[in-house]
Structure 1
Amino acid sequence: MKAIAPILLLAGSAAGQQAAYGQCGGINYSGPTNCVAGYACTSYNPYYYQCVPGTAAPASTSTSKTSTSTAVTTTSTSKSTSSVKTSSTSSVKTSTSTSSSTKTSSTAGPVATGFAKTNGLQFEIDGVTKYFAGTNCYWCGFLTSNADVDHVFADMAAAGFKVVRVWGFNDVNSVPGSGTVWYQYLSASGSQINTGANGLQRLDYVVSSAAAHGLKLIINFVNNWNDYGGINAYVNAFGGSASTWYTNTAAQAQYQKYIEAVVSRYKTSTAVFAWELANEPRCSGCDASVIYNWAATTSRYIKSLDSNHMVTLGDEGFGPLAGGDGSYPYQAGAGGYTWVDNLNITTLDFGTLHLYPDSWGQPYNWGNLWVSTHGAACVAAGKPCILEEYGGTNNCTIENPWQATALKTKGIAGDMFWQYGDTLPSCNCQTSQDGNTVFYNQGNWDCMVTQHVAAINAL
């Protein structure tokens, strides 16, 4: 994950006031709770309130077990991939609409011809085998306006994207107010999976809208990072640590219950591209067998529930690899696992790799080696791989070479930049800018998206 751009955290204009887009409340927060003029403190989850444009009264910053916030429903995740940087959270400036409309966009995609699958070292989607372009929209499932979801997916389809990665998790340790989207409450005394209107029904609409627009979704089940609960929410409920989570019996039992709840809703939907075990799983100080055994067990369990869809791990690509230069990302301890060993798990259909040289202390041109060495490993394993996340100060001169390398590298079957941005019609406001966001038809859109899609289609 890419850390939030520090340029958003500007100094406040008066003492005791939080700056534009700065944190202003939430459980365990102790900083300023008033925002600078023109901004309102708004709750995005019980742990994170942010100063966003508006004139609403400041949100409550109660640290009681049950949040009283009923404000907007979605936050942005921080992309914290660095081994030395801590995770931070930014927010999606999104709609407070609770529209019950179920109307989908009239811009429908091609009719699905079956479930997405591997075809040699590539993917086959709706009868077409080729290299596919995609993007990340973790926040799509947290929007409360159906019209916003339709608008975003219509724009994605128009751009030529085919695969979209969304968060299939949103875990809490205290049940928030009725206006906040959450999927699972975790507690040792009794966890709860939220299937209501502010729970998995939001994900239901994302799946149905994706189907209407001819898009395919990668849906994952837990976050390694603390955003939207993540492994930390399980640790809060069941004890242990982030490293012992993979072998914690109670945590894994609830994790599998959640997987079953989500998979059972969409096991017959052709809009699902693949299930993903986790976002960037790591196990600090662990033997590589810990994540390997967890991934093998979990992917086997998913396959027992659903034989229609592919399964992938969601790891970043760390560990020794033939052709690597021995730098930090290629070292055995970088993520606490060995990527190439995970790739060979039989119940994982394809591999994933992420690319953030800034966070990993590498020069930008090093990314081409990262892509090519992983592609070679994918060929050796006989499986396609996706460059599932990548970012580098949102600069085309940095990221375009990675796209070109991925496109020409055998074994790499698609790429998905972090992250997609759009303007939501319900509020005429933009989604999160975390320093790596590429907004629809704005800024560097042409060089990052239009030209790249054209190069793919030219093949």
Structure 2
Amino acid sequence: MMRRASNSTFAKVDGLQFNIDGVTQYYAGTNAYWLAFTTGNDDIDTALDRLKEAGLKILRIWGFNDVNTVPTDGTVWFQSFVDGQDPVINTGADGLQRLDYVVKSAEQRGIKLVINFVNNWTDYGGMAAYMKRFGGSANPEWYANSDIQAQYKKYIKTVVSRYSNSSAVFAWELANEPRCNGCNTTVLYDWAKETSAYIKNLDPNHMVTIGDEGFGVSGGDGSYPYTQGEGNDYNKNLEIDTLDYGTFHLYPDSWGQSNDPFGSEWVEAHGKACVAAGKPCVFEEYGVQSDKCSVEGKWQTTALNTEGIAADHFWDFGTTLSWGKTNDDGNTIFTNTSDWTCLVTNHVAKINS
């Protein structure tokens, strides 16, 4: 269902859905973690043009790129953690100016960005890059280290203050797939509560969310993703009032689960949790290595028909740019393929019908 409301620059929650540019409806989106690391402005424009043409309204990107050795070859980096030196936030041409361009280009095309601040994983540095400089070896130590948290907040403030008035920002995201293995669930809860409140204080205009996989949600079959073994209590975290919506991901292959019924039940369990919390949820990453159309198409249909699910973003957007094809991790959906027709063209048409 689509309903028009008063026009507002900033995307916002409207009941169990989102309102973007005055329109409340279900939204399709995707992930292009690599976009702000792209050095050519024309390539960024081309990528965003293809999303706009396809009717994909929300794009999730990495707003982090942490290094322990500063590149000298023009490779993009956003923050350095070099032993014995103070951390450096790179606001130069090979730094946050790349993100500046992505935001500007998205503004011109009406695309809304989910911008993420740190990775649980080591890709593009992640929590491990902080610990290499400040101490610690396992991610639970990242949350407990006050020097790390101070630098993380400093980085957040730098990024948020650049774009706090931009209509292109859909939401700020605390981390990509944060886990705290074996931790009491209060660790992630307290961190999410404190960090989201910090961001809301800096920027009350934009939404804030965690960026987690959705582990520890109530209901389900008792398999590992439903447990709190990674330190997540999904339902409790949704109660944090400075978090506007919930997120969840789906990778049955990686989690040792079946594509279905596990996949569709996972989507429905999160819808139920979001309805109970009175907040929308985003199915913000999902992928399989084979049979993408039949498997992911079913998940999309489930998401579209489940109350509480307000949007979905497949992982990952692929296309051909000036230098060739963008990265393919096996889950990537490329433009001009039958999977694209199935999971993008047909899905968007179904949403708009």
TM-score (norm 2): 0.96
Runs of 4+ in 1 over 2 A off after TM superposition: none
Correspondence for 1:377:
273
Query: Matches of residues 311-330 of structure 1 in structure 2 within 5 Å?
Result: 311-322=208-219, 324-330=220-226
SS of the residue 2:257 aligns to? coil
Amino acid at match of 2:227: Q
Residues 271 and 307, structure 2, Cα contact 8 Å, conserved in 1:
yes
Which residue, out of 73, 76, 79, partners 1:181? Answer: 76
**Cα separation, 1, equivalents of 2:326 and 2:69:** 26
Correspondence for 2:38:
143
Which residue, out of 407, 423, 435, partners 2:320? Answer: 423
Q: CA deviation at 1:252?
A: 0.4
SS of the residue 1:243 aligns to? helix
Residues 320 and 326, structure 1, Cα contact 8 Å, conserved in 2:
no
Residues 186 and 233, structure 1, Cα contact 8 Å, conserved in 2:
yes
Q: In the alignment, does 2:49 pair up with 1:154?
A: yes
Correspondence for 1:230:
126
Which residue, out of 117, 135, 156, partners 1:221? Answer: 117
Correspondence for 1:280:
177
SS of the residue 1:432 aligns to? coil
Residues 207 and 244, structure 2, Cα contact 8 Å, conserved in 1:
yes
C-alpha distance after superposition, 1:187-227 (max 9, x if no partner): 45301000000000000000000111110000010000000
- Greater RCO, CA 8 A, separation 6+: 2
Q: RMSD of aligned C-alpha atoms?
A: 1.0
Which residue, out of 320, 328, 331, partners 1:436? Answer: 331
**Cα separation, 2, equivalents of 1:295 and 1:435:** 31
Which residue, out of 314, 319, 342, partners 2:237? Answer: 342
Amino acid at match of 1:157: K
Correspondence for 2:3:
none
Which residue, out of 262, 265, 288, partners 1:392? Answer: 288
Q: CA deviation at 1:113?
A: 3.9
SS of the residue 2:341 aligns to? helix
C-alpha distance after superposition, 1:411-441 (max 9, x if no partner): 00000000000110x22x1001111111112
Query: Matches of residues 17-32 of structure 1 in structure 2 within 5 Å?
Result: none
Task: Point out the structure with max Rg over C-alpha.
Answer: 1
**Cα separation, 2, equivalents of 1:331 and 1:307:** 33
C-alpha distance after superposition, 1:113-169 (max 9, x if no partner): 410000000000000000000000000000000000000000000000000000000
C-alpha distance after superposition, 1:25-46 (max 9, x if no partner): xxxxxxxxxxxxxxxxxxxxxx
**Cα separation, 2, equivalents of 1:253 and 1:436:** 35
Count how many residue pairs are aligned between Structure 1 and Structure 2: 343
**Cα separation, 1, equivalents of 2:22 and 2:217:** 36
Query: Matches of residues 86-105 of structure 1 in structure 2 within 5 Å?
Result: none
Q: Which runs of 5+ in 2 are unaligned?
A: 1-6
Q: CA deviation at 1:343?
A: 1.1
Correspondence for 1:45:
none
SS of the residue 1:157 aligns to? helix
Q: In the alignment, does 2:148 pair up with 1:240?
A: no
Q: In the alignment, does 2:351 pair up with 1:456?
A: yes
**Cα separation, 2, equivalents of 1:320 and 1:221:** 24
Amino acid at match of 1:282: R
**Cα separation, 2, equivalents of 1:386 and 1:374:** 9
Which residue, out of 269, 272, 292, partners 2:189? Answer: 292
Residues 247 and 294, structure 1, Cα contact 8 Å, conserved in 2:
no
SS of the residue 2:216 aligns to? coil
Q: Which runs of 5+ in 1 are unaligned?
A: 1-111
TM-score (norm 1): 0.74
Q: CA deviation at 1:178?
A: 4.3
Amino acid at match of 1:415: D
Q: CA deviation at 1:320?
A: 4.3
Correspondence for 2:310:
413
**Cα separation, 2, equivalents of 1:415 and 1:264:** 27
Correspondence for 2:255:
360
Q: In the alignment, does 2:87 pair up with 1:210?
A: no
Which residue, out of 328, 341, 350, partners 1:446? Answer: 341
Q: CA deviation at 1:445?
A: 1.0
**Cα separation, 1, equivalents of 2:244 and 2:54:** 27
**Cα separation, 1, equivalents of 2:36 and 2:85:** 27
Query: Matches of residues 65-144 of structure 1 in structure 2 within 5 Å?
Result: 113-144=8-39
Residues 217 and 270, structure 2, Cα contact 8 Å, conserved in 1:
no
Higher share in helix: 2
**Cα separation, 1, equivalents of 2:143 and 2:38:** 30
SS of the residue 2:338 aligns to? coil
Residues 171 and 185, structure 1, Cα contact 8 Å, conserved in 2:
yes
Q: In the alignment, does 2:200 pair up with 1:303?
A: yes
**Cα separation, 2, equivalents of 1:160 and 1:221:** 26
Residues 133 and 416, structure 1, Cα contact 8 Å, conserved in 2:
yes
SS of the residue 1:352 aligns to? strand
- The percent identity for this pair of structures is 61
SS of the residue 1:175 aligns to? coil
**Cα separation, 2, equivalents of 1:444 and 1:190:** 46
Q: CA deviation at 1:370?
A: 0.2
